[in-house]
Amino acid sequence: EVQLLESGGGLVQPGGSLRLSCAASGFTFSNFAMYWVRQAPGKGLEWVSAISGSGRSTYYADSVKGRFTISRDNAKNTLYLQMNSLRGDDTAVYYCAKSAIAAAVMAAGGLDPWGQGTLVTVSS
Amino acid sequence: QSVLTQPPSVSATPGQKVTISCSGTSSNVGINFVSWYQQLPGSAPTLLIYDNNKRPSGIPDRFSGSKSGTSATLGITGLQTGDEADYYCATWDSSLSAWVFGGGTKLTVL
């Protein structure tokens, strides 16, 4: 069974940093692109970042470019999101998700499954 | 504002059919596969439709997807109270080099 388990969320002050992790199991991790998607309280889904299976290709939403860094350790089956210079509008539940079929970041196949999410709260 | 445009809400009665639209542009919906996600209250999103009109295993055929030009549509027939959820469309935007989501549509089954 494919499982994704996020961790690392919590309360952080504006300007601070946090690193999220997503532990994956039940599939060959390096064969699939991975994603971070967030959801602010009471709001819709917002794509944050994506990384190819090899880790060589990364993509970011304009809202986080230059502040967030996505990475992966294929030996540890773990996806990361390093978040720096955090702002109040970064407050959200952060989900990791797996590409359903591909190592490349692409639309085919969709995102499946998603983890249960980890809450990041940026507040003083 | 979301890159993909969805109606904020739709409603219908049990047993009826409902459709949810997703409008994009030639750089996203027009040239890339669209997927749809269901988010039940208090839960993480789950994949409902992928590649415009395909259903993952376990998704009942009451759910369907279609795409024409720069618009995609999710259809749900035989509505059940358990279908009450938020529904999101998504795709890759080739101009932005970014995934884009619709703003979400809240389905109420009266």
Amino acid found at A46: E
For range B32-41, the mean pLDDT: 97
Q: How many other C-beta atoms lie within 10 A of the C-beta of residue A7?
A: 13
Contact (Cβ atoms closer than 8 angstroms) between residue A37 and residue A48: yes
Q: Considering only CB atoms, which chain A residues are within 8 Å of B32?
A: 106-107
Q: What is the distance in angstroms between the Cα of A13 and the nearest Cα belonging to chain B?
A: 26
Q: What is the distance in angstroms between the Cα of B1 and the nearest Cα belonging to chain A?
A: 11
- Is B37 within 8 Å of A45 when comparing Cβ atoms? yes
Q: Could you please report the per-residue DSSP string of B52-90?
A: TTB--TT--TTEEEEEETTEEEEEE-S--GGG-EEEEEE
Mean of the per-residue pLDDT values for chain B?
97
What are B51-108's pLDDT values in tens digits?
999 999 999 999 999 999 999 999 999 999 999 999 999 999 999 999 999 999 999 9
Q: What is the pLDDT along chain A (124 residues), one digit of tens a residue?
A: 999 999 999 999 999 999 999 999 999 999 999 999 999 999 999 999 999 999 999 999 999 999 999 999 999 999 999 999 999 999 999 999 999 988 888 888 899 999 999 999 999 9
Contact residues for A102 (Cβ-Cβ < 8 A; gap 6+)? A32, A33, A53, A108, A109
CB contact B99 to A (< 8 Å): yes
What pLDDT sits at residue A33? 96
Q: Considering only CB atoms, which chain B residues are within 8 Å of A6?
A: none
Using CB atoms, pick whichever of A44, A62, A117 lies closest to residue B103. A44
Contact (Cβ atoms closer than 8 angstroms) between residue A93 and residue A38: yes
Using CB atoms, pick whichever of B32, B34, B88 lies closest to residue A45. B88
Contact (Cβ atoms closer than 8 angstroms) between residue A81 and residue A59: no
A-to-B residue pairs, Cβ atoms closer than 8 angstroms: 79
CA gap A37, A105 in Å, rounded = 14
Q: What is the distance in angstroms between the Cα of A74 and the nearest Cα belonging to chain B?
A: 23
What pLDDT sits at residue A106? 84
What pLDDT sits at residue B14? 96
Q: What is the distance in angstroms between the Cα of B93 and the nearest Cα belonging to chain A?
A: 9
Contact residues for A56 (Cβ-Cβ < 8 A; gap 6+)? none
Interface residues of A toward B, Cβ cutoff 8 Å, are 35, 37, 44-47, 50, 59-62, 95, 97, 100, 105-117
CA gap A46, A92 in Å, rounded = 10
Helix (H) or strand (E) holding A118: strand A118-122
List Cα–Cα distances, B58 to A23, A108, B49, in angstroms. 25, 19, 11
CB crowding A58-86: b at 16 or more within 10 Å, else e: ebbbeebeeebbbebeeeebbbbbebeeb
